[in-house]
Amino acid sequence: MSSSHTDISIRPAVDADLGALLALERASFTTDHLSLRQYRQHLHSATATVLAAVDADGLLGKAVVFYRQGSDIARLYSIAVAERARGRGIAKSLLAAVETAAHQRDCSRLRLEVRKDNAAAIALYERLGFQRFGEKHGFYEDGADAWRYQKVIG
């Protein structure tokens, strides 16, 4: 699961990534942080996938996906790209890897929530074929609203 950049690879995250994952989480989001304990749990869960985009210097980005038994819907819970790595297509590569992982688990739909004020993320999701289908008021810890998006995959 390598991206189009030869120096960047996307792989399942491992315990050795925990410190970098937590640092990226804190640098990327002001609220709704995943904790070290949650990351450790997700790394070893049958109902989650944590992907890491890495290069020789370390972690560039991450994506966390959840699955529900008996459901064909995968949920992109979180995606983030380190500031030093923005503009290199890493989010797009992570999303492609998320779709592949979800498809391998027989999911036919990928869903996500995105802050209504996150214009860059919304533009990326729409460019990649996600369709807005709803909203959630007060979805985030700070009370911000979210748009809900879905993409048919496979």
Structure tokens at 111: 């869903």
Q: Where does residue 70 rank: exposed (0-12), middle (13-18), buried (19+ CB within 10 A)? A: exposed
Please give the structure tokens belonging to residue 130.
Answer: 């996600």
Q: Which CATH superfamily is domain 9-108 in?
A: Gcn5-related N-acetyltransferase (GNAT) (3.40.630.30)
Cβ proximity of 96 and 134 under 8 Å: no
Full-model pTM: 0.91
pLDDT tens per residue, range 75-121: 999 999 999 998 999 999 999 999 999 999 999 999 999 999 999 99
Q: pLDDT (tens digit, 9 = 90+) per residue, 14-62?
A: 999 999 999 999 888 777 778 889 999 999 999 999 999 999 999 999 9
For 79, what's the count of Cα atoms within 13 Å in the CB-facing half-sphere? Answer: 27
Q: Domain segments of the chain: what residues? A: 9-108
| Element (DSSP H or E) covering residue 9 | strand 9-12
Q: How far apart are CA 148 and CA 111, in angstroms?
A: 7
Residue 66 phi, psi dihedral angles, 5° rounding: -115, 150
Helices (H), 15-89: 18-28, 36-43
